[in-house]
Amino acid sequence: MTVIDANATAVPGVRVDWAIITGNGGSLSQTVDSTDSKGVATTLLTLGGATTYVVTATVTGLPQVTFTATAAAPPVRDSVAVKDNFFHPDSVVLQVNDTVYWTWAGTQQHNVTFGPGMASATQSSGTYSKQFTTPGKFAYTCTLHAAMKGVVVVVN
Ligand SMILES: [Cu+2]
């Protein structure tokens, strides 16, 4: 936030108190700051598990200012086309317990292989699906085409 005077001139050295009034688990990098030479005071809000956060900036003698932040769910993309010879998209991000569905969309034979015991059949049509129950980064390939690579990123 910026503190200015009646002439719209920045005011340095003004104490600003920051507080989270809504938003469980959130934290501020600092709860007290002084405006700099440009009249700017800052804090950094780190989100926790809540969806909505309201942060107030208080300067003695001035109306309180409120800021609102809304947390969005991680992007979810759970369909991948198995083409000749690439995965599209080659990177997906999803939440824990979501499932990725691969659909064969080319004419050649391919597979989706994460590792031993974690692979689709080698096929030229059809689908393969896998549910991801733990966060992490899971790389896979088609063992017939080493350049076919993909990754599934699972977040909480
Ligand atoms: Cu392949």
pLDDT tens-digit series, residues 1-38: 888 998 999 999 999 999 999 988 889 999 999 999 99
Q: Give per-residue pLDDT as tens, 48-67.
A: 778 899 999 999 999 999 99
Q: Model pTM?
A: 0.57
Q: What is the DSSP letter of 135?
A: -
Per-residue three-class SS string for 91-129: EEEEECCCEEEEEECCCCCECCEEECCEECCCECCCEEE
Confidence check: pLDDT of 41 > 90: yes
Evaluate whether 50 touches 25 at the Cβ level (below 8 Å). yes
Cα of 112 from ligand 1 centre, angstroms: 8
Q: How far is the CA of 122 from the centre of ligand 1 (A)?
A: 8
pLDDT for 74 equals 63
Per-residue pLDDT tens over the stretch 70-122: 887 766 668 999 999 999 999 998 888 899 999 999 999 999 999 888 899 99
Cα of 117 vs centre of ligand 1, distance in Å, is 18
- Tell me the CA–centroid distance for residue 76 and ligand 1, in Å: 25
DSSP 8-class letter at 85: T
Band (155; pLDDT cuts 50, 70, 90): confident
What pLDDT was estimated at residue 93?
86
What's the pLDDT at 50?
A: 81
Task: Look at phi and psi of residue 126 and say left if phi exceeds 0, alpha if psi is from -120 to 50, else beta.
Answer: left
- Whole-angstrom CA distances from 91 to 75, 84, 139, 148, 154 are 12, 17, 9, 12, 11
The token pair at 124 is: 């030229």
Calpha distance 48→96 (Å, rounded): 17
Cα of 114 vs centre of ligand 1, distance in Å, is 13
Q: Which residues surround ligand 1, an ion (CB under 5 A)?
A: 110, 142, 144-145, 148
Distance 94 CA to ligand 1 centre (A): 23
Rounded to the nearest angstrom, the distance between the alpha carbon of 88 and the centre of ligand 1 is 12
Distance 141 CA to ligand 1 centre (A): 8
Instruction: Name 87's bridge partners.
Output: 82
pLDDT value for 64: 94
